[in-house]
Chain A
Amino acid sequence: MWSYALKRAGTTAVTLLAASIIIFAFIHIVPGDPIYVLLGDTATPDQIDALRHQLGLDQPIILQYLTWIGHVLEGNLGRSIFFQAPVLSVIADGAETSALLATMTMIWVTLIGVPIGMIAAVRHGTWLDQGLSGAAMLMASIPTFWVGLYLILIFAAWLGWFPSSGYPSIFEGGLVNLRYLVLPSLALAAPNAALILRLTRASMLDVSREDYVRTARAKGIRPWQVVVRHILRNALLAVVSAFGFTFAALLSEAVVTETVFALPGIGRLVVQSILRRDYPVIQGVILVIVVVYLLINLIVDLSYRLLDPRVELQ
């Protein structure tokens, strides 16, 4: 286990290193002089010279990269042109919204995907299964922003049950403010719940063909006990690992949802920064999301091995 964990962590580190080179290159390949890119169009010649010297842009590119990565490791992701503030603090401002949105989305995904996937698997081959599986495929084919706009139209504009946009922090207005995230999290959950539903179903069907399930049935154990204790427990292993990937992917999928609902999260920050040409912020967000994405994948992979010792043999 430990040798595997070390090896896996090593691969992640190498991938992260290679990804960091791409992210570093980003600011050098966007059209225009990186100095103008960093300072914006309104920079004076003095500022340009000062920054060029400060960043060491006259030095070889490899040294520039090492300087940049050194700053990143110290938590210095540069300064936002638009906010005139450190990129890390700009990202931190959006973290609360994004983290809560992702968590709430995962709750919906679990509540919808797992039980319905179970029902489809237990009723395998019936019209109910076909209907549920078809509905899941339909849900996976719907753009999240379209679902979002309809939720706004029905539950905010017509019924007035939930706010249509924005999100004031729960630290200022209390947990009541979570109601701002109900519609966005539902929109974001739709395609992901469909994925988990299909996965739960497929995984349960795989497990139900195992010998020990047949043995359990032959011993006369009640059907529902076989499903819960023998099939579900083992089937959920694969589902749990998919949870990790889904959660990690939500960070980037939220870009569209946060824009529809005007949520002050990291996703909307990316879109606005693209429109404002605030390149340091775009670079910083991409870096943060890639790091989180790789770390979650690493944790999921390792915990999967801890939960299921059989995997090690394969």
Chain B
Amino acid sequence: MSRDGAILWLKPFIARPIALLGLGILLGTILAATFAPWLAPYDPYAIDPSIRLTPPNALHWFGTDQFGRDTLSRVIHSARMALLIGSGVVMFALATGVPIGVLSALFPRLGHLLMRMVDVLMAFPSLLLALGLIVVLGPSVANAILAIGLGYMTTTTRIVYGLTLRLRMETYVEASRSMGAGTAWLIGKHILPNLVSPLLVQASFVFAFAQLGAASLDFLGLGAPPEIPSWGNMLAESRTFITRAPWLLFFPGMMIVATAFSLNLVGDALRDRLDPRFRQLFSEKG
């Protein structure tokens, strides 16, 4: 992206302070995930029964859990799992949705069949689809990414399909085609570059909802293995102690909300920058 392009992308954030806040929270989460071992004051796995369920204090800002583990350190380390799941789901959704959507729009006969298959997958509510897949594949981080990603593959495919259908009708694409451009050239030169902006919007929303989906799977005990620190796992464990140790409920939940909220804010700001003809494809998300 050129320097002018970068300024163009930053514009919606500068104009809207709340979107800037979203971007800030997001960067903070990325930094926390990257530097977790240096930022966390304690080892997130270190058990100390003598300080079980201590409320927040000067030594342990977010308190400790039922094994005496430091909540702040676990919350910081959980950012890694959040980013891993989020980026994994986004990459899966894009890696499958973009080729299927583009090819379906360019080759109508194949497209008709593929889009019908997408319709069939969409008949399964996303959480139910994820649960069914976890039953077949077994619970693990990779399978959680796959299970959640499949639900967003369908929405991404639909959006890419709709966008490509519109782009195909553009005069410059027809001109290029009439001058003898091949399909591969059209895709590389005209279609993919125009998909970047809308897909960035889609990626923000998918990243946000993947956080909520992963937290639900963790909470049900069907996501990341329980010993791995993740906000969903921490909440699942806190359930037994909600009256005795409400802080265990507060901090991991706040992190999920902050991450999902900031991604939604970023996605919203980016969407408002989109070409109005493309924007309506996202309107069903509310």
Contacts and interface: CB of A to CB of B under 8 A. Distances in A.
Given A141-B264, A145-B235, A274-B222, A152 B132 contact: no
Contact of B125 (A26, A150, A152, A252): A252
A143 B132 contact: no
Size class of B's contact patch?
A: 35 or more
Interface residues of A, number: 51
Majority SS of interface residues in chain A? helix
A256 interface: yes
B261 A138 contact: yes
Interface string A260-286: 100000000011001100010010001
Nearest to A19: B123
Contacts of A134: 18
A142 interface: yes
B127 A146 contact: no
Contacts of A275: 221
A207 interface: no
A280 B126 CA distance: 20
A218 interface: no
Majority SS of interface residues in chain B? helix
B126 A252 contact: yes
A267 B38 CA distance: 41
B196 interface: no
Contacts of B283: 202
A125 interface: no
A31 B134 CA distance: 11
A19 B119 CA distance: 10
B200 interface: no
B123 A149 contact: no
A134 B132 CA distance: 34
A54 to B, nearest CB: 24
A153 B123 contact: no
A255 B120 contact: no
A293 B123 contact: yes
A305 B270 CA distance: 33
Interface string B221-260: 1100000000010010011001100100100010011001
Contacts of A144: 216
Given A153-B249, A202-B286, A255-B220, A143 B128 contact: no
Contacts of B242: 149, 152-153, 157
A277 B38 CA distance: 42
Q: Which of B120, B136, B239 has the most CB of A within 10 A?
A: B120
Contact of B134 (A141, A274, A279): A274
Contacts of A138: 257, 261
A229 to B, nearest CB: 25
A252 B128 contact: yes
A149 B18 CA distance: 28
A102 interface: no
A198 interface: yes
Interface string B200-226: 000000001000100110011110000
Given A26-B136, A157-B243, A143 B212 contact: yes
B24 interface: no
Given A152-B242, A157-B242, A198-B286, A145 B219 contact: yes
A251 interface: yes
A140 interface: yes
B113 to A, nearest CB: 11
Nearest to B213: A143
A211 B242 CA distance: 55
Given A137-B261, A275-B221, A293 B125 contact: yes
Nearest to B256: A143
Interface string A116-143: 0000000000000000001001101111
Interface of B: 18, 116-117, 119-120, 123-128, 131-132, 134-136, 138, 208, 212, 215-216, 219-222, 232, 235, 238-239, 242-243, 246, 249, 253, 256-257, 260-261, 264-265, 268, 283, 286
Given A145-B215, A194-B286, A271-B220, 19 more contacts: A14-B116, A26-B136, A29-B136, A31-B136, A142-B253, A143-B215, A144-B216, A146-B256, A153-B249, A157-B243, A202-B286, A252-B126, A255-B131, A256-B216, A256-B220, A271-B131, A271-B222, A274-B135, A286-B128
Interface of A: 11, 14-16, 18-19, 22, 26, 29-31, 134, 137-138, 140-146, 149-150, 152-153, 157, 194-195, 198-199, 202, 248-249, 251-253, 255-256, 259-260, 270-271, 274-275, 279, 282, 286, 289-290, 293-294
17 contacts: A16-B123, A18-B120, A19-B124, A26-B132, A141-B260, A143-B212, A143-B232, A143-B235, A143-B253, A145-B219, A146-B257, A150-B249, A251-B125, A256-B127, A259-B220, A274-B131, A286-B132
State the 8 A-B residue pairs at the shortest beta-carbon distance, nearest first.
Answer: A252-B125, A141-B260, A141-B261, A198-B286, A146-B253, A18-B120, A252-B128, A195-B286
